[in-house]
Amino acid sequence: MRKKHVVIILGVLTVFSTAGLWLFPQLKNGGDNNTGNAQARTSLKTAVPVAVALTATEPFTETLEALGTALANESVVITPTLEERVVAIFFEDGDTVDKDQILVKLDDSEARYLLAEASATLREQQKQFERIRQLAKTNATSRSRLDEEQGLLEIARAKVAHLNAQLRDYTIQAPFAGVLGTRRISKGAVVGSETVITTLDDTTLIKLDFTVPETYLGVLRTAMDIAAQSPAYPDRIFKGKVAAISSRVDPETRSLTVRAHIPNPDRLLKPGMLLTVELIKDRTRSLVIPEEAVILERDKKFALVVTAQNTVAKLEIVTGRRSPGKVEVISGLNAGQRVIIKGITRVRPGTSVDVVETLQAAELHG
Protein backbone atom coordinates (compact mmCIF):
# COMPACT_ATOMS: atom_id res chain seq x y z
CA MET A 1 0.00 0.00 0.00
CA ARG A 2 2.81 2.31 0.90
CA LYS A 3 4.53 1.47 -2.41
CA LYS A 4 1.38 2.49 -4.26
CA HIS A 5 1.31 5.89 -2.55
CA VAL A 6 4.94 6.53 -3.53
CA VAL A 7 4.18 5.81 -7.17
CA ILE A 8 1.22 8.20 -7.14
CA ILE A 9 3.30 11.02 -5.62
CA LEU A 10 6.09 10.53 -8.18
CA GLY A 11 3.53 10.70 -11.01
CA VAL A 12 2.09 13.96 -9.74
CA LEU A 13 5.55 15.54 -9.46
CA THR A 14 6.36 14.46 -13.01
CA VAL A 15 3.21 16.10 -14.33
CA PHE A 16 3.96 19.43 -12.55
CA SER A 17 7.57 19.42 -13.78
CA THR A 18 6.49 18.86 -17.40
CA ALA A 19 3.84 21.58 -17.20
CA GLY A 20 6.31 24.01 -15.77
CA LEU A 21 8.73 23.41 -18.61
CA TRP A 22 5.98 23.97 -21.18
CA LEU A 23 4.49 27.07 -19.52
CA PHE A 24 7.77 28.73 -18.50
CA PRO A 25 10.35 27.84 -21.14
CA GLN A 26 12.79 30.35 -19.74
CA LEU A 27 13.29 28.04 -16.79
CA LYS A 28 15.04 25.62 -19.11
CA ASN A 29 17.92 28.04 -19.56
CA GLY A 30 18.88 30.53 -16.90
CA GLY A 31 20.76 32.70 -19.50
CA ASP A 32 17.55 33.59 -21.37
CA ASN A 33 16.64 36.22 -18.78
CA ASN A 34 19.94 38.05 -19.26
CA THR A 35 19.41 38.01 -23.06
CA GLY A 36 16.02 39.79 -22.65
CA ASN A 37 17.58 42.51 -20.49
CA ALA A 38 20.30 43.06 -23.10
CA GLN A 39 17.67 43.47 -25.84
CA ALA A 40 15.76 46.00 -23.71
CA ARG A 41 18.93 48.04 -23.16
CA THR A 42 19.68 47.92 -26.88
CA SER A 43 16.20 49.24 -27.73
CA LEU A 44 16.74 52.16 -25.36
CA LYS A 45 19.82 53.15 -27.36
CA THR A 46 18.01 53.09 -30.75
CA ALA A 47 18.75 56.29 -32.78
CA VAL A 48 15.96 58.88 -32.60
CA PRO A 49 14.71 60.08 -36.01
CA VAL A 50 15.05 63.86 -36.49
CA ALA A 51 14.84 66.46 -39.23
CA VAL A 52 17.60 69.02 -39.57
CA ALA A 53 18.38 72.19 -41.50
CA LEU A 54 21.79 73.22 -42.73
CA THR A 55 22.94 76.58 -41.47
CA ALA A 56 23.89 78.82 -44.34
CA THR A 57 24.96 82.35 -45.15
CA GLU A 58 22.36 83.96 -47.40
CA PRO A 59 20.81 87.38 -48.13
CA PHE A 60 18.90 88.52 -45.06
CA THR A 61 16.28 91.21 -45.59
CA GLU A 62 14.90 93.26 -42.72
CA THR A 63 11.61 95.00 -43.45
CA LEU A 64 9.20 97.48 -41.88
CA GLU A 65 5.49 97.03 -42.59
CA ALA A 66 3.01 99.89 -43.02
CA LEU A 67 -0.27 100.74 -44.75
CA GLY A 68 -0.28 103.17 -47.65
CA THR A 69 -2.78 104.90 -49.93
CA ALA A 70 -2.24 104.90 -53.69
CA LEU A 71 -2.32 108.22 -55.52
CA ALA A 72 -2.13 108.96 -59.23
CA ASN A 73 1.06 110.47 -60.53
CA GLU A 74 -1.09 113.31 -61.90
CA SER A 75 -4.80 113.75 -61.24
CA VAL A 76 -7.30 116.44 -62.19
CA VAL A 77 -11.05 117.07 -62.33
CA ILE A 78 -11.96 118.40 -65.77
CA THR A 79 -14.24 121.47 -65.49
CA PRO A 80 -14.94 124.38 -67.86
CA THR A 81 -13.74 127.88 -67.04
CA LEU A 82 -16.86 129.60 -68.36
CA GLU A 83 -20.59 129.05 -68.71
CA GLU A 84 -21.75 127.84 -72.11
CA ARG A 85 -23.63 125.11 -73.95
CA VAL A 86 -21.95 121.81 -74.94
CA VAL A 87 -21.99 121.28 -78.72
CA ALA A 88 -19.69 118.24 -79.08
CA ILE A 89 -18.15 115.50 -76.91
CA PHE A 90 -15.12 113.58 -78.18
CA PHE A 91 -14.54 110.91 -75.51
CA GLU A 92 -16.15 107.91 -73.86
CA ASP A 93 -15.98 106.56 -70.33
CA GLY A 94 -12.54 105.25 -69.42
CA ASP A 95 -10.79 106.37 -72.59
CA THR A 96 -7.02 106.64 -72.66
CA VAL A 97 -6.10 110.04 -74.05
CA ASP A 98 -2.99 111.92 -75.09
CA LYS A 99 -1.85 115.33 -73.92
CA ASP A 100 -3.85 118.17 -75.55
CA GLN A 101 -6.43 115.79 -77.00
CA ILE A 102 -9.79 117.57 -77.45
CA LEU A 103 -12.46 116.33 -75.05
CA VAL A 104 -15.37 118.80 -75.32
CA LYS A 105 -16.37 121.71 -77.53
CA LEU A 106 -18.55 124.52 -76.19
CA ASP A 107 -20.64 126.91 -78.26
CA ASP A 108 -18.14 129.59 -79.29
CA SER A 109 -20.21 131.41 -81.95
CA GLU A 110 -20.49 134.62 -79.94
CA ALA A 111 -16.82 134.55 -79.03
CA ARG A 112 -15.87 134.14 -82.69
CA TYR A 113 -18.09 137.09 -83.62
CA LEU A 114 -16.45 139.28 -81.02
CA LEU A 115 -13.02 138.15 -82.19
CA ALA A 116 -13.85 138.94 -85.82
CA GLU A 117 -15.09 142.38 -84.82
CA ALA A 118 -11.97 143.07 -82.77
CA SER A 119 -9.74 141.84 -85.59
CA ALA A 120 -11.42 144.24 -88.03
CA THR A 121 -10.96 147.11 -85.60
CA LEU A 122 -7.30 146.14 -85.24
CA ARG A 123 -6.77 146.23 -88.99
CA GLU A 124 -8.38 149.69 -89.28
CA GLN A 125 -6.34 150.96 -86.38
CA GLN A 126 -3.18 149.59 -87.97
CA LYS A 127 -3.97 151.50 -91.18
CA GLN A 128 -4.74 154.68 -89.23
CA PHE A 129 -1.48 154.43 -87.31
CA GLU A 130 0.49 154.01 -90.56
CA ARG A 131 -1.11 157.16 -92.06
CA ILE A 132 -0.34 159.26 -88.99
CA ARG A 133 3.22 157.94 -88.89
CA GLN A 134 3.79 159.02 -92.50
CA LEU A 135 2.39 162.47 -91.75
CA ALA A 136 4.59 162.74 -88.69
CA LYS A 137 7.66 162.14 -90.84
CA THR A 138 6.87 165.35 -92.77
CA ASN A 139 5.79 167.20 -89.62
CA ALA A 140 2.27 167.36 -91.03
CA THR A 141 0.92 166.23 -87.69
CA SER A 142 2.02 166.48 -84.10
CA ARG A 143 4.02 163.88 -82.17
CA SER A 144 1.25 163.66 -79.61
CA ARG A 145 -1.22 162.55 -82.28
CA LEU A 146 1.14 159.78 -83.33
CA ASP A 147 1.48 158.64 -79.71
CA GLU A 148 -2.30 158.64 -79.33
CA GLU A 149 -2.78 156.48 -82.42
CA GLN A 150 -0.08 154.10 -81.25
CA GLY A 151 -1.86 153.71 -77.92
CA LEU A 152 -5.12 152.90 -79.66
CA LEU A 153 -3.29 150.33 -81.78
CA GLU A 154 -1.88 148.60 -78.70
CA ILE A 155 -5.37 148.49 -77.16
CA ALA A 156 -6.78 146.89 -80.30
CA ARG A 157 -4.01 144.29 -80.30
CA ALA A 158 -4.59 143.47 -76.63
CA LYS A 159 -8.30 143.00 -77.20
CA VAL A 160 -7.68 140.55 -80.05
CA ALA A 161 -5.18 138.61 -77.92
CA HIS A 162 -7.69 138.47 -75.06
CA LEU A 163 -10.48 137.19 -77.29
CA ASN A 164 -8.16 134.60 -78.83
CA ALA A 165 -7.29 133.33 -75.37
CA GLN A 166 -10.94 133.30 -74.39
CA LEU A 167 -11.81 131.40 -77.54
CA ARG A 168 -9.42 128.62 -76.52
CA ASP A 169 -11.47 128.13 -73.34
CA TYR A 170 -14.37 126.93 -75.49
CA THR A 171 -12.28 123.90 -76.46
CA ILE A 172 -11.56 121.68 -73.44
CA GLN A 173 -8.41 119.56 -73.83
CA ALA A 174 -6.59 116.95 -71.77
CA PRO A 175 -3.81 118.71 -69.82
CA PHE A 176 -1.71 115.51 -69.79
CA ALA A 177 -1.86 111.92 -71.03
CA GLY A 178 -3.88 109.56 -68.88
CA VAL A 179 -7.11 107.65 -68.34
CA LEU A 180 -10.48 109.41 -68.20
CA GLY A 181 -13.17 108.62 -65.68
CA THR A 182 -16.89 108.50 -66.36
CA ARG A 183 -18.56 111.16 -68.52
CA ARG A 184 -20.88 113.36 -66.44
CA ILE A 185 -22.32 115.66 -69.08
CA SER A 186 -24.36 115.31 -72.28
CA LYS A 187 -24.42 117.20 -75.54
CA GLY A 188 -26.65 120.26 -75.28
CA ALA A 189 -26.16 120.73 -71.55
CA VAL A 190 -25.24 124.16 -70.26
CA VAL A 191 -22.12 123.86 -68.11
CA GLY A 192 -20.40 126.26 -65.78
CA SER A 193 -17.23 126.49 -63.76
CA GLU A 194 -18.72 124.20 -61.08
CA THR A 195 -19.71 121.48 -63.55
CA VAL A 196 -17.61 118.30 -63.46
CA ILE A 197 -17.13 116.97 -66.98
CA THR A 198 -14.95 113.96 -66.05
CA THR A 199 -11.72 113.07 -64.26
CA LEU A 200 -8.27 112.44 -65.68
CA ASP A 201 -5.57 110.37 -64.00
CA ASP A 202 -2.05 109.50 -65.04
CA THR A 203 -1.56 106.08 -63.42
CA THR A 204 1.54 104.91 -65.28
CA LEU A 205 3.29 105.81 -62.04
CA ILE A 206 1.64 105.45 -58.62
CA LYS A 207 2.54 107.64 -55.68
CA LEU A 208 2.18 105.67 -52.45
CA ASP A 209 1.93 107.65 -49.22
CA PHE A 210 2.39 105.87 -45.88
CA THR A 211 3.49 106.74 -42.36
CA VAL A 212 6.31 105.26 -40.30
CA PRO A 213 7.23 105.82 -36.63
CA GLU A 214 9.81 108.49 -35.93
CA THR A 215 12.10 105.82 -34.42
CA TYR A 216 12.94 104.74 -37.98
CA LEU A 217 13.98 108.22 -39.04
CA GLY A 218 17.64 107.29 -38.77
CA VAL A 219 17.39 104.54 -41.40
CA LEU A 220 15.02 106.26 -43.83
CA ARG A 221 16.51 107.60 -47.03
CA THR A 222 15.40 108.24 -50.57
CA ALA A 223 15.83 105.44 -53.13
CA MET A 224 15.14 102.76 -50.51
CA ASP A 225 13.39 99.71 -51.96
CA ILE A 226 9.76 99.02 -51.08
CA ALA A 227 7.39 96.16 -51.88
CA ALA A 228 3.63 96.65 -51.85
CA GLN A 229 0.70 94.23 -52.03
CA SER A 230 -3.03 94.66 -52.55
CA PRO A 231 -5.86 92.29 -51.54
CA ALA A 232 -7.10 92.70 -55.12
CA TYR A 233 -3.94 91.00 -56.43
CA PRO A 234 -2.79 88.62 -53.66
CA ASP A 235 -0.18 86.95 -55.86
CA ARG A 236 1.40 90.17 -57.14
CA ILE A 237 4.18 92.19 -55.53
CA PHE A 238 4.57 95.78 -56.71
CA LYS A 239 8.11 97.08 -56.26
CA GLY A 240 9.13 100.70 -56.01
CA LYS A 241 11.46 103.16 -54.32
CA VAL A 242 11.15 105.89 -51.71
CA ALA A 243 10.91 109.23 -53.52
CA ALA A 244 10.40 111.71 -50.67
CA ILE A 245 10.42 111.87 -46.88
CA SER A 246 8.33 114.42 -45.02
CA SER A 247 10.28 117.25 -43.41
CA ARG A 248 8.02 117.18 -40.34
CA VAL A 249 7.05 114.64 -37.68
CA ASP A 250 3.42 114.67 -36.55
CA PRO A 251 3.59 115.66 -32.85
CA GLU A 252 0.42 113.71 -32.06
CA THR A 253 1.24 110.37 -33.70
CA ARG A 254 5.05 110.72 -33.61
CA SER A 255 5.20 109.51 -37.17
CA LEU A 256 6.14 111.00 -40.52
CA THR A 257 4.86 110.55 -44.06
CA VAL A 258 6.94 108.78 -46.66
CA ARG A 259 6.13 108.84 -50.39
CA ALA A 260 7.21 106.05 -52.72
CA HIS A 261 6.95 105.76 -56.49
CA ILE A 262 5.73 102.47 -57.98
CA PRO A 263 5.83 101.88 -61.76
CA ASN A 264 2.37 100.81 -62.94
CA PRO A 265 2.66 100.08 -66.68
CA ASP A 266 -0.27 97.64 -66.61
CA ARG A 267 -2.44 100.19 -64.76
CA LEU A 268 -3.47 97.51 -62.25
CA LEU A 269 -3.19 99.88 -59.31
CA LYS A 270 -5.85 102.57 -59.00
CA PRO A 271 -5.81 105.84 -57.04
CA GLY A 272 -7.34 105.39 -53.60
CA MET A 273 -6.37 101.73 -53.16
CA LEU A 274 -5.09 100.59 -49.76
CA LEU A 275 -1.75 98.78 -50.03
CA THR A 276 0.38 96.90 -47.52
CA VAL A 277 3.89 98.27 -47.74
CA GLU A 278 7.13 96.54 -46.81
CA LEU A 279 9.96 99.00 -46.50
CA ILE A 280 13.22 97.13 -46.97
CA LYS A 281 15.47 98.58 -44.25
CA ASP A 282 18.52 96.39 -44.78
CA ARG A 283 19.68 93.62 -47.08
CA THR A 284 22.92 91.87 -46.04
CA ARG A 285 24.36 88.35 -46.02
CA SER A 286 23.97 86.66 -42.66
CA LEU A 287 24.04 83.19 -41.11
CA VAL A 288 20.41 82.15 -40.65
CA ILE A 289 18.54 79.20 -39.16
CA PRO A 290 14.83 78.38 -38.97
CA GLU A 291 13.14 79.97 -35.99
CA GLU A 292 11.90 76.55 -34.80
CA ALA A 293 15.52 75.54 -34.19
CA VAL A 294 15.96 78.17 -31.44
CA ILE A 295 15.48 76.95 -27.86
CA LEU A 296 14.79 79.55 -25.17
CA GLU A 297 15.99 78.87 -21.61
CA ARG A 298 15.55 81.81 -19.29
CA ASP A 299 17.64 84.60 -20.79
CA LYS A 300 19.72 82.36 -23.03
CA LYS A 301 19.20 80.77 -26.44
CA PHE A 302 20.43 77.40 -27.67
CA ALA A 303 20.37 75.18 -30.73
CA LEU A 304 20.69 71.39 -30.92
CA VAL A 305 23.34 70.39 -33.45
CA VAL A 306 23.92 66.95 -34.94
CA THR A 307 27.62 66.10 -34.81
CA ALA A 308 29.63 64.06 -37.31
CA GLN A 309 29.03 61.01 -35.07
CA ASN A 310 25.23 61.56 -35.35
CA THR A 311 24.93 62.54 -31.71
CA VAL A 312 23.33 65.67 -30.29
CA ALA A 313 25.31 68.67 -29.05
CA LYS A 314 23.68 71.65 -27.35
CA LEU A 315 25.27 74.97 -28.33
CA GLU A 316 24.53 78.42 -26.93
CA ILE A 317 23.86 81.01 -29.65
CA VAL A 318 23.40 84.74 -29.95
CA THR A 319 20.65 85.80 -32.35
CA GLY A 320 20.04 89.07 -34.14
CA ARG A 321 17.37 90.21 -36.54
CA ARG A 322 14.32 88.23 -37.57
CA SER A 323 12.32 87.81 -40.73
CA PRO A 324 9.31 85.54 -41.28
CA GLY A 325 10.47 82.01 -40.43
CA LYS A 326 14.17 82.91 -40.08
CA VAL A 327 16.53 84.08 -37.35
CA GLU A 328 19.92 85.65 -37.84
CA VAL A 329 22.70 83.97 -35.84
CA ILE A 330 25.44 86.35 -34.76
CA SER A 331 27.61 83.81 -32.90
CA GLY A 332 27.59 80.20 -31.72
CA LEU A 333 27.19 78.43 -35.08
CA ASN A 334 29.06 78.05 -38.34
CA ALA A 335 27.81 77.60 -41.89
CA GLY A 336 27.12 74.00 -42.85
CA GLN A 337 26.18 72.71 -39.38
CA ARG A 338 23.04 70.62 -38.96
CA VAL A 339 20.53 72.06 -36.48
CA ILE A 340 17.54 70.00 -35.38
CA ILE A 341 14.15 71.46 -36.32
CA LYS A 342 11.91 68.40 -35.79
CA GLY A 343 12.20 65.97 -32.89
CA ILE A 344 13.74 68.50 -30.49
CA THR A 345 11.63 67.34 -27.53
CA ARG A 346 12.72 63.70 -27.96
CA VAL A 347 16.46 64.23 -27.73
CA ARG A 348 19.03 65.59 -25.33
CA PRO A 349 22.81 66.18 -25.49
CA GLY A 350 24.57 62.91 -26.31
CA THR A 351 21.52 61.21 -27.81
CA SER A 352 22.15 59.19 -30.97
CA VAL A 353 19.96 60.38 -33.83
CA ASP A 354 18.97 59.26 -37.29
CA VAL A 355 18.69 62.19 -39.71
CA VAL A 356 15.65 61.39 -41.86
CA GLU A 357 15.28 64.80 -43.54
CA THR A 358 17.73 67.59 -44.36
CA LEU A 359 16.56 71.02 -45.53
CA GLN A 360 18.78 73.35 -47.51
CA ALA A 361 18.97 77.09 -46.89
CA ALA A 362 16.72 77.80 -49.87
CA GLU A 363 14.00 75.64 -48.35
CA LEU A 364 13.77 77.62 -45.11
CA HIS A 365 10.58 79.59 -44.55
CA GLY A 366 10.46 83.30 -45.36
Calculate the dihedral angle through the C-alpha atoms of 16, 18, 21, 24, rounding to the nearest 10 degrees: -40
Integer CA distances (angstroms), 128 to 21, 38, 121, 137, in order: 150, 132, 10, 15
Looking at the DSSP assignment, which residues form a beta bridge with residue 244? 259
Residue 126 in domain: yes
Residue 155 in domain: yes
pLDDT higher than 70, residue 193? yes
Q: In terms of domains, do 237 and 139 share one?
A: no
Last residue of a domain, one of 191, 218, 253: 191
Q: In terms of domains, do 212 and 303 share one?
A: no
**Which residue range forms the structural domain that includes residue 347?**
48-59+285-363
Question: What pLDDT does residue 147 have?
Answer: 83
Distance, in Å, from the CA atom of 305 to the CA atom of 292, rounded to the nearest integer, reads: 13
Question: What pLDDT does residue 79 have?
Answer: 95
Nearest Cα to Cα of residue 310 among 57, 45, 56, 43:
45
Residue 77 in domain: no
Q: In terms of domains, do 317 and 270 share one?
A: no
What average pLDDT is seen over the chain?
84
Name the region of 103 (left: φ>0; alpha: ψ -120 to 50; beta: rest).
Answer: alpha
Q: In terms of domains, do 86 and 187 share one?
A: yes
pLDDT, tens digit (0-9, with 9 covering 90-100), for 318-360? 998 777 788 889 899 998 899 999 989 899 999 999 999 888 7
pLDDT, tens digit (0-9, with 9 covering 90-100), for 216-227? 888 888 988 899
Q: In terms of domains, do 94 and 35 share one?
A: no
Looking at the DSSP assignment, which residues form a beta bridge with residue 58? 286
Q: Residue 222 contacts by C-beta under 8 Å, 6 or more apart in sequence?
A: 241, 242, 243, 244, 245
Question: What pLDDT does residue 271 have?
Answer: 93
* Mean pLDDT, rounded, for 148-177: 92
DSSP per position, 94-155 = T-EE-TT-EEEEE--HHHHHHHHHHHHHHHHHHHHHHHHHHHHHTTSS-HHHHHHHHHHHHH
Residue 196 in domain: no
Q: In terms of domains, do 257 and 300 share one?
A: no
Distance of CA 243 to the CA centre of its chain: 15
Residue 100 in domain: yes
Last residue of a domain, one of 256, 284, 312: 284
When mean pLDDT is compared across 72-86, 155-169, 277-291, the lowest value belongs to 277-291
Last residue of a domain, one of 191, 224, 250: 191
For the chain, the domain total comes to 4
